[in-house]
Structure 1
């Protein structure tokens, strides 16, 4: 079992989640009861015990969280892979101040585990690029992250 390292985000993880990040969000599927994993990037941690996400307002993630609040966010880096366990709630649907319809999900952190396999460390964190209009992507990212910071 992965080692529990904290009941809130560590200082390093909190700092990492102050900006857009590649994070895997695992929810309980509302239809099957099985796992549902999605990659998300609009993430912000206003404080070590809380994480905010923005996802499409009609996303399966929203349906899953409304049916079962248990979630795990997988964060790669710094140095390791972390599983952040918590309870999620859809707090705003649609989000104000954003040109597309998104839902805000707030996660109350319950535990942080080091999920990295024994004898290894992360030496390079995931990197991605937006595949649509760069200027439009940057504008949308600013709107969403500003809305998450409110």
Structure 2
């Protein structure tokens, strides 16, 4: 996809957003007006034009989006790096059937760009581990993803 702009997720990117994935989300800070970047993993694409993100409903991300809906989601995949820009809104202030107070953010995709610099490729994708009870983490991750899927209307 190098040097190409897409107006929606290509199939391989859509496929990776059917499960938990490490991404960064950039918003415009509601106080300073500068950039704000957060690492998140609860993402889900209900279709090729939208991405859902679940975050703590007290998060600065929520406040930022309420003031300025412009966002960029960045993901490393397929030996490259992708910038997905769009407009976000709060789809649910508190997601149902999830034990945490999570907001559901809906991102309407404006464009998808391969932003990897010329003549290079990602040799190892970012990896992470949950640092709390693995069984509890798996249960919570499933609850969040299942809840996100139910909001697909």
Structures share a fold, TM > 0.5?
A: yes
CA distance in 2, matches of 1:8, 1:117: 21
1:56 paired residue number: 56
1:113 paired residue number: 113
Flag as ranges the 4+ runs of structure 1 deviating above 6 A: none
CA displacement at 1:93 relative to structure 2: 1.1
Residue ranges of structure 1 left out of the alignment (5+ in a row) = none
- TM-score scaled by length of structure 2: 0.95
What are the Cα deviations for residues 24-64 of structure 1, in whole angstroms up to 9, with x where unaligned? 00000000000000000000001010000000010000000
CA distance in 1, matches of 2:63, 2:90: 9
1:138 paired residue number: 138
> Alpha carbon RMSD of aligned pairs, Å?
1.0
CA distance in 1, matches of 2:129, 2:58: 24
SS of corresponding position for 1:119: coil
CA displacement at 1:5 relative to structure 2: 2.5
CA distance in 1, matches of 2:123, 2:50: 27
CA displacement at 1:78 relative to structure 2: 1.4
CA distance in 2, matches of 1:62, 1:90: 7
CA distance in 2, matches of 1:111, 1:122: 21
2:10 paired residue number: 10
**How many pairs are equivalent?**
149
CA distance in 2, matches of 1:123, 1:17: 20
**How do residues 1-150 of structure 1 correspond to structure 2 at under 5 angstroms?**
3-150=3-150
CA distance in 2, matches of 1:22, 1:78: 14
CA distance in 1, matches of 2:58, 2:19: 24
What are the Cα deviations for residues 71-106 of structure 1, in whole angstroms up to 9, with x where unaligned? 000000112100000000011011101001000000
Instruction: Return closer, same or farther for 1:4/1:70 CA change in 2, 3 Å cut-off.
Output: farther
CA displacement at 1:123 relative to structure 2: 2.3
Residue ranges of structure 2 left out of the alignment (5+ in a row) = none
